[in-house]
Structure 1
Amino acid sequence: MSPLLRRAKKKPADRVVTLVGKPGCHLCDDARLVVREVCEETGAAWEEKDITQDEALYKEYWEQIPVVLVDGEQHTFWKVDPVRLRTALCA
């Protein structure tokens, strides 16, 4: 494969994790703790989006919250495995 066709490996510090959830969701609270810990450990940035404030997110993810996105791509939903998230950020 040509070196130009290979994807450049991103450093964890260049990655963005998005937690999509809603207020009062205990699974979202659990996911937040894992996301925060893994992102602090790896240097990745993270943000949180409230599904009740965004119609597009609501339509796409309502039945799956909490949802974790890595660089805008769905990584997981319901439960966040810290090892799997860490691996995705370092891949």
Structure 2
Amino acid sequence: MVALTFLTRVDCHLCETAREAVAEAVAGRDVKVTEIDIDTDDDLSGQYGWDVPVVLLDGRQHSFHRVDADRLSRAIEALGA
């Protein structure tokens, strides 16, 4: 199983678009998606600030600001999901 962490914040239009790309990329795959609002975590807010949305795959940053569903899908496939 691949762990995908999706870092967002409220009222983020890029996050809404990225959420759709993430959903497309993980559909039918063995991926556990965890969405976190960075404004609820001081460490994440300090680390990522205005760089949301951010996608982490197994703890490593895959993308930020814009999420390309095809690129994300290939990365998930490469990790075995």
User: Under a length normalisation based on structure 2, what TM-score does the superposition of the two structures give?
Assistant: 0.89
- What percent of counterpart residues are identical? 38
For 2:11, the equivalent position in structure 1 comes to 24
Distance across 1 between alignment mates of 2:18 and 2:28: 15
Structure 2 unmatched ranges of 5 or more: none
Q: Cα deviation per residue 1:31-82 (whole Å; 9 max; x = unaligned)?
A: 1111112112333121100011001110111121111100111000000011
Determine which of 74, 83, 89 is the counterpart of 2:61.
Answer: 74
Tell me which amino acid in the other structure corresponds to 1:33. E
Further displaced range: 35-44 or 63-72: 35-44
Q: Cα deviation per residue 1:7-46 (whole Å; 9 max; x = unaligned)?
A: xxxxxxx101111010110100111111112112333121
Check the 8 A contact 1:68/1:75 in 2, yes or no: yes
1:87, CA displacement in angstroms?
0.8
Give the root-mean-square deviation of aligned CA atoms: 1.0
For 1:89, the equivalent position in structure 2 comes to 76
Report which of the two structures shows the higher radius of gyration computed on alpha carbons: 1
Q: More relative contact order in 1 or in 2 (CA 8 Å, sep 6+)? A: 2
Tell me which amino acid in the other structure corresponds to 2:27. E
Structure 1 unmatched ranges of 5 or more: 1-13
Could you say which structure has the higher strand fraction? 2
Tell me which amino acid in the other structure corresponds to 1:67. V
* Count of paired positions: 78
Could you say which structure has the higher helix fraction? 1
